[in-house]
């Protein structure tokens, strides 16, 4: 084997993983090439790379998923290697073969390994032959409904139906009794066919208290295979990971040896090379036990959660990938890989937990993440002044922490998430902070149903605490008493330290989150930290990761009317303005459609809450608007 270091690396990905790969490559003296779609033209990863290539329109299928365009970009920029990151083409065996055929280093496993692990039924059979424990179930070729229902009865309910070619929870159904099996099977097969073009399923016994344990493995081209310990990924919502940690709580030495040994055998069985993750499901009803952990699947790529492994081992996994791809042996032997302290990672998504976790898109007018400091690492693909578009995954950052103990790590993660300030895009930062601070999480009482069982408490009420409303009321009072800052997004620097004169009203009436709230007015200094004034006359208060946008409520507003009763028409969600039914100065009647908004493929009419006059309008057909923005203001007649 000829050892030849990588010279110029094309990163076939975007966002935070592209930036993370660039950092390591630069440190190693490797030049980088960034790819970008129309939507990513001004993205940070494009600016930070040594070279950049435009590969198409904003939709991923017309850019990042277009294999021919990616390979053409590699040729045009004289790259000699491709790193696929995760997602997109990272587990596409055909793309791996095409890259190698083009004479490029492929920073990933062989195509044969990707194929071997790509179909769940074949992978489970292969693992069983390699001595890797697999979940009891049915993997047969006979896919008739009659045979599947009979096998479900043999396994015993509850059973889990899983798409053979699936992932991310698609084509998956839990069935608790025989009478529900036929309908669940039909639904799972329809979803599998639509998502993967393959409606075949397998059956598994359903683990009633499941934990998701995965093992980071690494292999080189010389036959060496090691593990870098395990990660706990049980905090999930709808089969999507939310918080990950390393190591797994409650993992004793014997169980760790069993599960990591099984992961190494899995990698050896498919002739693996590079970074991979072997995922297991554990029955945690009696704690973690070696005889109650079974193989689930193998991800043949770097994982989103790889930083927690880096934090506890002190290793740079991307550097390992690049060295292995260039023909070098693994940097460490198994006995030399350390395991120190505890690490946790939270995925910061552009979504609104209070609105059923709907994605949130739009400009990042204000974007503040905690400072990277001792034991705190921030990986993000966006920056203030950028935009979250609807074209890609809504994850905008990863907050990773490290501490000597699990309790300390959980506290540090909760604090880091609480420091997040993002506006006007909504995020799950407050939700994440509440997850990390929950007493059951701190006690390591976790399984994959953790979030759903506590969802109401973790999402929160969506309404501000009295102290938050008081800060907003104080801010409005200061604005009334002093000149407003000249820039709409100024953090009230001109008002800081100003004290109210005279005797203000005893309380202020404010609109927030579709409700009217009252807050006492106090004669106090204004602390501008964590406050924003928007050009829509909103005061945004950041508190424990949540953002609350307040507007003034007119004194004559109906007590139960919310903001609309005060004449404010506010966008209920991100969307596109389809039509505007009145002009400024027009007389309108109660119930008249003023603005029609298209969102989530449906039209929503914003109507006049009373007879009156349209005093202000901040919308025109074709505009893309964000959630919470004031689109119009009406004055009540009489």
Per-residue pLDDT for 628 more than 70? no
Q: Which part of the chain has CATH 3.30.470.20?
A: 111-135+209-340, 341-458
Q: Which part of the chain has CATH 3.30.1490.20?
A: 136-205
Poorest-confidence range of 73-82, 103-112, 309-318, 473-482?
473-482
Q: Which part of the chain has CATH 3.40.50.20?
A: 8-107
Residue 349: what pLDDT? 97
- Residue 182, C-beta contacts closer than 8 angstroms, at least 6 positions apart: 145, 149
The CATH code belonging to domain 8-107 is 3.40.50.20
**CB 312, CB 246: distance < 8 Å:** yes
Taking only the tens place, the pLDDT of each residue in 515-544 is 788 888 776 677 778 899 887 778 999 999
- Residue 230, C-beta contacts closer than 8 angstroms, at least 6 positions apart: 213, 214, 215, 216, 246, 247, 248, 251, 256, 259, 260
Per-residue pLDDT for 239 more than 90? no
Q: Is 301 designated active site?
A: yes
Q: Tell me the C-alpha distance between 540 and 200, whole Å.
A: 50
Q: What number is the average pLDDT over the span 480-487?
A: 54
The CATH code belonging to domain 461-566 is 3.30.700
Q: What number is the average pLDDT over the span 231-245?
A: 95
- Ranges 248-252, 533-537, 634-638, most confident: 248-252
**Pick the catalytic residue: 19, 20, 256, 301?**
301
Poorest-confidence range of 264-268, 481-485, 579-583?
481-485
Q: Which part of the chain has CATH 3.30.700?
A: 461-566
Indicate the fold that domain 567-638 takes in CATH. OB fold (Dihydrolipoamide Acetyltransferase, E2P) (2.40.50)
Poorest-confidence range of 249-258, 302-311, 562-571, 574-583?
562-571
**CB 267, CB 275: distance < 8 Å:** no
What's the pLDDT band for 558 if we cut at 50, 70, 90? very low
- Terminal CA-to-CA distance of the chain, rounded, Å? 88
- In the structure encoding, which two tokens stand for residue 163, read together? 């798409």
Matching CATH number, 111-135+209-340, of 1.10.10.10, 3.40.50.300, 3.40.630.30, 3.30.470.20: 3.30.470.20
Per-residue pLDDT for 506 more than 70? no
Taking only the tens place, the pLDDT of each residue in 170-198 is 899 999 999 999 999 999 999 999 888 89
Bigger pLDDT: 556 vs 619: 619
Residue 462: what pLDDT? 80
Per-residue pLDDT for 347 more than 80? yes
Helix ranges (H only) for 483-553 are none
Closest CA to 362 of 571, 633, 569, 604: 571
Q: What number is the average pLDDT over the span 223-228?
A: 97
Render 297-326 in DSSP notation, one character per residue: EEE-S--TTHHHHHHHH---HHHHHHHHHT
SS3 state at 472: helix
SS3 state at 447: coil
Say what angle helices 67-76 and 93-101 make with each other, to 10 degrees: 30
Q: Which part of the chain has CATH 2.40.50.100?
A: 567-638
Per-residue pLDDT for 627 more than 70? no
Residue 20: what pLDDT? 98
Cis peptide before 247 (omega within 30 of 0): yes
Question: 480 vs 498, 533, 578, CA distance in Å?
Answer: 12, 13, 36
What's the pLDDT band for 457 if we cut at 50, 70, 90? very high
Taking only the tens place, the pLDDT of each residue in 120-141 is 778 888 998 999 998 889 988 9
Q: What number is the average pLDDT over the span 270-282?
A: 96
Per-residue pLDDT for 556 more than 60? no
The CATH code belonging to domain 136-205 is 3.30.1490.20
Residue 557: what pLDDT? 38
Q: Are strands 240-246 and 342-349 parallel, antiparallel or unpaired?
A: antiparallel
Q: Tell me the C-alpha distance between 494 and 488, whole Å.
A: 12
Residue 487: what pLDDT? 40
The CATH code belonging to domain 341-458 is 3.30.470.20
């Amino acid at each position: 084997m000829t050892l030849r270091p990588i010279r110029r690396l094309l990163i076939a990905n975007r966002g935070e993983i592209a930036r993370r790969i660039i950092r390591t490559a630069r440190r190693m003296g490797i030049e980088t090439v960034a790819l970008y779609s129309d939507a990513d033209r001004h993205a940070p990863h494009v600016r930070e790379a040594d070279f950049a290539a435009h590969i198409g329109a904003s939709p991923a299928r017309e850019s990042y998923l277009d294999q021919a365009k990616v390979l053409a970009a590699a040729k045009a920029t004289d790259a000699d290697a491709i790193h696929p990151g995760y997602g997109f083409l990272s587990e596409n065996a055909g793309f791996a073969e095409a890259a190698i055929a083009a004479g490029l280093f492929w920073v990933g496993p062989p195509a044969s390994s990707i194929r071997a692990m790509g179909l769940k039924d074949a992978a489970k059979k292969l693992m069983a032959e390699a001595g890797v424990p697999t979940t009891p179930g049915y993997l047969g070729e006979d896919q008739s409904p009659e045979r599947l229902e009979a096998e479900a009865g043999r396994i015993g309910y509850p059973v889990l139906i899983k798409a053979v070619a699936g992932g991310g929870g698609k084509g998956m159904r839990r069935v608790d009794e025989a009478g529900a099996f036929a309908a669940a099977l039909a639904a799972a097969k329809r979803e599998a066919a639509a998502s993967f073009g393959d409606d075949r399923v397998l059956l598994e016994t359903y683990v009633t208290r499941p934990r998701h344990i995965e093992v980071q493995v690494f292999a080189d081209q010389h036959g060496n295979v090691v593990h870098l310990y395990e990660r706990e990924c049980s905090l999930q919502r709808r089969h999507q990971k939310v918080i990950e940690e390393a190591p797994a709580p409650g993992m004793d030495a014997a169980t760790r040896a069993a599960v990591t040994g099984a992961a190494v055998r899995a990698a050896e069985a498919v002739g693996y090379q590079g970074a991979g993750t072997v995922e297991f499901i554990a029955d945690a009803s009696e704690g973690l036990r070696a005889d109650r952990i079974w193989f689930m699947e193998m991800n043949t790529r770097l994982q989103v959660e790889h930083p927690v492994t880096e934090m506890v081992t002190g290793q740079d996994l991307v550097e390992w990938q690049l060295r292995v791809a260039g023909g070098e042996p693994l940097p460490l032997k198994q006995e030399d890989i350390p395991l120190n302290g505890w690490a946790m990672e939270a995925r910061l998504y552009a979504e609104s937990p209070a609105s059923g976790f709907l994605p949130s898109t739009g400009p990042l007018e204000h974007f503040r993440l905690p400072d990277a400091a001792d034991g705190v690492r921030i990986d993000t693909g966006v920056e203030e002044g950028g935009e979250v578009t609807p074209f890609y995954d809504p994850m905008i950052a990863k907050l990773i922490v490290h501490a000597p103990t699990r309790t300390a790590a959980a506290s540090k993660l909760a604090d880091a998430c609480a420091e997040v300030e993002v506006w006007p895009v909504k995020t799950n930062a407050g939700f994440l902070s509440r997850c990390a601070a929950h007493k059951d999480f701190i006690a390591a009482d976790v399984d994959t149903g953790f979030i759903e069982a506590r969802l109401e408490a973790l999402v929160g009420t969506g309404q501000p605490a009295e102290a938050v409303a008081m800060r907003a009321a104080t801010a409005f009072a200061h604005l009334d008493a002093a000149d407003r800052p000249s820039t709409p997004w100024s953090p009230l620097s001109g008002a800081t330290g100003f004290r109210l004169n005279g005797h203000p009203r005893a309380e202020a009436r404010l609109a927030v989150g579709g409700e009217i709230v009252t807050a006492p007015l106090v004669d106090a200094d204004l602390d501008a930290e964590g406050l924003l004034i928007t050009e829509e006359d909103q005061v945004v208060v950041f508190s424990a990761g949540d953002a609350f946008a307040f507007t003034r409520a007119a004194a004559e507003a109906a007590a139960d009317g919310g903001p609309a009763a005060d004449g404010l028409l506010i966008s209920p969600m991100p969307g596109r303005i389809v039509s505007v039914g009145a002009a400024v100065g027009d007389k309108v009647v109660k119930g008249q459609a003023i603005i029609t908004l298209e969102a989530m493929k449906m039209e929503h009419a914003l109507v006049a809450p009373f007879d009156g006059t349209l005093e202000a309008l901040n919308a025109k057909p074709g505009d893309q608007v964000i959630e919470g923005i004031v689109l119009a203001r009406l004055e009540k007649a009489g």
